[in-house]
């Protein structure tokens, strides 16, 4: 039987910026604001910094959580990996950035259906019977949110590029 709660990766997006100009602090703040505007709880998972001969390396790992109801929710992971970053005289940062966004659908996140083989079997039947409703209620909104976050981050980097 499957693991509980039931998770399914719904949407993945990635973006690579080479020799871009940006403000890491501003990007962090704006992503947090956008996540909250979309109704997500923003959790900073991991942050790590180190320096090498090419500049600073910084990894920002965010976790976004949004419950649709007491059965289904969205979890979105955003990882920004800045590499070869150095400060410019105007206060902005310059370097490379790899962005990875993954949206996951989580069903039965309170684990009401995963206690024994019988209830897990009923859960699988329920998921099959409600497949189209789950698609409309959970999957499509997750895909839309991941696309909105991706477009927002892409636009943030374009803003700095145009300045």
How many distinct structural domains can be found in the chain?
1
Per-residue DSSP letter, 123 = H
- Quick one: average pLDDT of 33-49? 91
- The verdict on residue 1 lying in a domain is no
Percent of the chain, pLDDT > 70? 95
Burial 62-93 (b: 16+ CB within 10 A, else e): bbbbbeeeebbbbbbbbbbbbbbbeeeeeeeb
CB 146 within 8 A of CB 38: no
Q: Establish if 132 belongs to a structural domain.
A: yes
Q: Which residues form the domain of 87?
A: 6-162
The CATH number that applies at residue 153 is 3.40.198
- The answer to whether position 154 is within a domain reads yes
Range 89-106 average pLDDT: 94
Instruction: Name the most confidently modeled range: 57-61, 83-87, 144-148.
Output: 144-148
**Residue whose token pair is 């069903």:** 107
Amino acid 56: pLDDT: 82
pLDDT of residue 141: 97
């Amino acid at each position: 039987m499957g693991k509980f709660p039931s998770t399914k990766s719904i949407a993945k997006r990635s973006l690579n910026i080479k020799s871009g100009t940006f403000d890491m602090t501003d990007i962090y703040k704006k992503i947090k604001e956008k996540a909250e505007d979309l109704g997500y709880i923003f959790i900073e998972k991991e942050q790590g910094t180190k320096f090498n001969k090419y500049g600073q390396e910084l990894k920002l790992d965010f976790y976004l959580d949004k419950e649709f109801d007491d059965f289904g929710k969205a979890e979105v992971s955003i990882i920004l990996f800045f590499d070869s970053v150095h400060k410019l005289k105007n206060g902005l940062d310059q370097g490379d950035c790899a962005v990875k966004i993954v949206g996951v659908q989580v069903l039965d996140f309170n684990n009401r259906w995963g206690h024994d083989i019988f209830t897990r079997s009923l859960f699988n039947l329920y998921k099959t019977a409600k497949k189209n409703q789950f698609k409309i209620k959970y999957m499509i909104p997750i895909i839309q949110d991941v696309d909105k976050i991706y477009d927002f981050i892409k636009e943030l980097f374009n803003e700095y590029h145009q300045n």
